[in-house]
Amino acid sequence: MKAFAALTKNEFKLFFRSTSSVFYVLFFSSILLLIFGGMSGNKPMAQLGGYGMVEVEIPSFMMIVILITGVVTFPVDVSMAREKKILKRFMATPISPFQILFSQFIVNFIMSMAGALLLVVVGKIVFNANFYGNAWTMLIAYIITAISTYSVGLMVASISPNSKAATVIGNFIYLPMIFLTGAVYPIQLMPPVMKNIAKVIPFTYGVNLLNGGWFGAKIGSFTMDFIVLAIVFIVGAGISLFTFKWE
């Protein structure tokens, strides 16, 4: 346990040495919120169910944080550890390579939570945005969405021959997803064609789940979102299980 704690502590140090990771995980979404909120304000809109634009954007932007850590930084970290033969070297030590993967997951997840909390703080202080849900339900929604997304990230790391390929594949997934899932622009305001496209993208259901938790929807209304995200997790984890290489 002490070895794993030391390993995780070291992963945190490595994370903070990467200026780009710190910026995109912690501050990028909050900056977007300031920009979009500055343009639209937070006045209640009928098209958004009587909520303000910022109140709708906060949980949606959380999906951006999850995607950045889940399909960009996490798979790149794993790929670099394999590329530098770190995973192979740890096979000869009491520390399991699985602990390496789990420590990287822990670091990316905790930092994504920090980025999400910063979003809430910025939304409240700058725009007086309100939270309408239950904190525990919101936490569960966040964890489920993150685990599902990270399984895709592990799949990216598994099929990528090196860290450069992982970066390309991760960004290829990330960039379209933030625009097509409602993570940047509310689905409620999209034209019918774009709404239909969003319905077939799995990460859309992560945005739905986060929005449901934020606005206090009943847990029973999350059923479809849970099912889709569970399928994504099974597919991502299943492919990773058969394709992941330690060296």
For residue 134, give its domain range. Answer: 2-243
Instruction: For the chain, give the longest Cα–Cα distance.
Output: 61
pLDDT at 143 exceeding the cut of 80? yes
Mean pLDDT, range 37-45, rounded to an integer: 85
Query: What is residue 215's DSSP assignment?
Result: T
Q: Give CB contacts under 8 A, 24+ apart, made by 131-138.
A: 131/214, 132/55, 132/214, 132/215, 132/216, 133/212, 133/213, 133/214, 133/215, 133/216, 133/217, 134/213, 134/216, 137/213, 137/216, 137/219, 138/59, 138/210, 138/213, 138/214
How high is the pLDDT of residue 139? 93
The predicted-structure confidence for 66-118, as pLDDT tens digits, reads as follows 999 999 988 888 888 777 776 666 666 666 667 777 888 898 899 999 999 99
The predicted-structure confidence for 30-39, as pLDDT tens digits, reads as follows 999 999 888 8
What total of structural domains would you count in the chain? 1
The percentage of the chain sitting over the pLDDT mark of 70, rounded to a whole number, equals 94
